[in-house]
Amino acid sequence: MNQTLPLVKIEKHNFGTSPFGLFSFSVTTIMLMLIESKIVSGDFIGQVVGLTIFYGGLGQLIAGLFEFVNKNNFTGTVFSSYGSFLLAFSFVNYMNKVGTYISTDKRGESIYLATWGLFTLLMLSLTKKKSIITKFVFLTLALAFIFLSGGIYNDIIKQIGGYIGLISGISAGYLGYTELYLEIYDSKLYGI
């Protein structure tokens, strides 16, 4: 009997990546929404692009893939999708900044954001059995995408979308914190 053992055996619940994915989303969203809400200058985007690619984009994508391994399809879909969104968003922003690709079609950008708003509403519809704060994160994110989509044509609407997105990012950070708190102290916080 020749039996080969795998180098690494991955079983469900060996690791939880949800807090990491939530913090990746939170920090990146907060940084981006500080720009969209005009709290900080758009010149700040240079510092945010690297964070968006590696922490927000790749971080969430990796967290999502591990969630799939743990058979958490909802969380895997969410993190992988938003991680991919942030990678695409960063790529387009970078290409525009260096002048390689100039996007001048406002309708395309508006449709892009509206589509992510629709995706987020679909994910929100699947949170019936999830916590209040999870529902709130998806609701505020969907609203942010919708306002940012309309904000392509109106700076005030874009700024409102930025503030709503900021609330979503902060809420996601709280959700990540509560998940770590529950793991460490075996006690729940408000909203979970």
Residue 173 near residue 27, CB atoms below 8 Å: yes
Residue 147 near residue 164, CB atoms below 8 Å: yes
Return the pLDDT at 97. 74
Return the pLDDT at 11. 46
Q: Mean per-residue pLDDT for 26-52? A: 91
**What is the pTM (predicted TM-score) of this model?**
0.88
Higher-confidence residue of 96 and 123: namely: 123
* Residue 96 in tokens: 């525009």
Amino acid at site 177: Y
Q: Mean per-residue pLDDT for 155-175? A: 97
> How much of the chain, in percent, has pLDDT values that exceed 90?
68
Question: Band of the pLDDT at 77, cuts 50, 70, 90?
Answer: very high
Lowest mean pLDDT segment, chosen from 66-75, 99-108, 145-154, 168-177: 99-108
Per-residue pLDDT for 28 more than 70?
Answer: yes
Per-residue pLDDT for 58 more than 60?
Answer: yes
Return the pLDDT at 1. 52
Per-residue pLDDT for 19 more than 70?
Answer: yes
Return the pLDDT at 191. 64
Per-residue pLDDT for 83 more than 70?
Answer: yes
Return the pLDDT at 99. 74
